Every structure is written in C-alpha cells, then in structure tokens.
C-alpha cells in the first residue's frame, strides 16, 4: 500500500485539458500495442469522456469495467487498486463492505486519479483487459512518461 500511496503523491499534473487527455490516451494505446495487450482505455475529466479506445480483443465488458473502476476513483479520489487494497488490509472486501452496488463500482486495479497541483482530482485515466495489477502498472507507466519522470 505504501507504494500505491507514493505513486499517487508523485504522479500529479500541473494542468489537464482536452489535448492532454488525447496525448495521455494515445501514449497508453502505443504502450498497449507495443505489448500486444488487448485493453480498453478511457481518459475522463469529471463526467466527460475525453478519450476512449478499445483495442482488438476487447469487448463491451471492458467498457463496463472502465466505468465501474472510474466510479471508484470519482468517489474516493484514489486509484481503484488502492481503494481495494485498503479494504483487504482491514480483512474486508470492497464488494461486501463498501455498501456500494458492485454492478456500478469495482475496486479493481486500472483506474487512477488525474490530480492537478493546487486543484485536486479532476478526472481519471483507466485501463481494462489485463490482470488488475497489470492494468494499474500500465497506467502508472504512462503517467510517468507523460510527466517525464522515472519510475518510483
């Protein structure tokens, strides 16, 4: 959990607009294609979807996972993987103990808050299609590259 929390403190943006969403989303597509990863990708600012791509091998189920994971980021202002890890650390499960509809919320890795310095969380970037830790790692790597910083 320490590493997940450190990534959230480290991966903070100076600004975030529509062009940034396109650049970040395109970077994720490039990374996924290089790895042959069948993933769906979304970048959102508030309720608006600014970028979406579904690579070959994905389905509408991946889109549903993106929505569910992004709702967790919107609600908790933390990555979906970190939220799930916090529940597990207490010997609980998100699905049983959050009191949220599991058809609408999923604390599985892959959605990360877009936090702007001095403003707070303005949106989310998410990936669906790999194991939850791999979805999360792909998003973190893309944010590191987008921000021009090395892995933590």
Read off the pLDDT of residues 129-142 as tens digits, 9 standing for 90 and up. Answer: 999 999 999 999 99
Arithmetic mean of pLDDT over the chain? 96
72 lies in some domain: yes
Residue 138 in domain: yes
CATH number of the domain at 27, please: 3.30.450.150
Give a yes or no: residue 83 inside a domain. Answer: yes
Instruction: Give the model's confidence band at 151: pLDDT under 50 very low, under 70 low, under 90 confident, else very high.
Output: low
The pairing of strands 120-128 and 48-54 is unpaired
Of residues 101, 108, 51, the one with CA closest to residue 84: 108
* pLDDT exceeds cutoff 70 at 152: no
Question: Which parts of 1-152 are beta strand (E)?
Answer: 12-13, 40-45, 48-54, 111-116, 120-128
Task: Report the C-alpha gap between 103 and 5 in whole angstroms.
Answer: 26
Instruction: Count structural domains, the chain.
Output: 1
For residue 152, being part of any structural domain is answered with no
- pTM score: 0.95
Q: 100 lies in which domain range?
A: 2-147
126 near 7, Cβ under 8 Å? no
């Amino acid at each position: 959990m320490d590493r997940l929390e450190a990534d959230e403190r480290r991966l903070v943006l100076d600004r975030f607009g529509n062009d940034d969403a396109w650049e970040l989303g395109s970077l994720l597509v490039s990374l996924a294609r290089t790895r042959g990863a069948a993933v769906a990708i979304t970048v959102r600012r508030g309720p608006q979807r600014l970028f979406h791509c579904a690579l070959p091998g994905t389905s509408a189920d991946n889109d549903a996972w993106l929505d569910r994971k992004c709702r967790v980021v919107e609600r908790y202002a933390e990555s979906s993987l970190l939220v799930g890890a916090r529940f597990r650390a207490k010997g609980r499960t998100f699905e049983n103990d959050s009191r949220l509809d599991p058809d609408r919320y999923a604390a599985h890795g892959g959605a990360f808050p877009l936090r702007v310095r001095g403003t707070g969380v303005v949106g989310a970037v998410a990936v669906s299609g790999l194991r939850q830790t791999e979805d999360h790692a792909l998003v973190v790597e893309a944010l590191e590259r987008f921000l021009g910083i090395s892995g933590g």
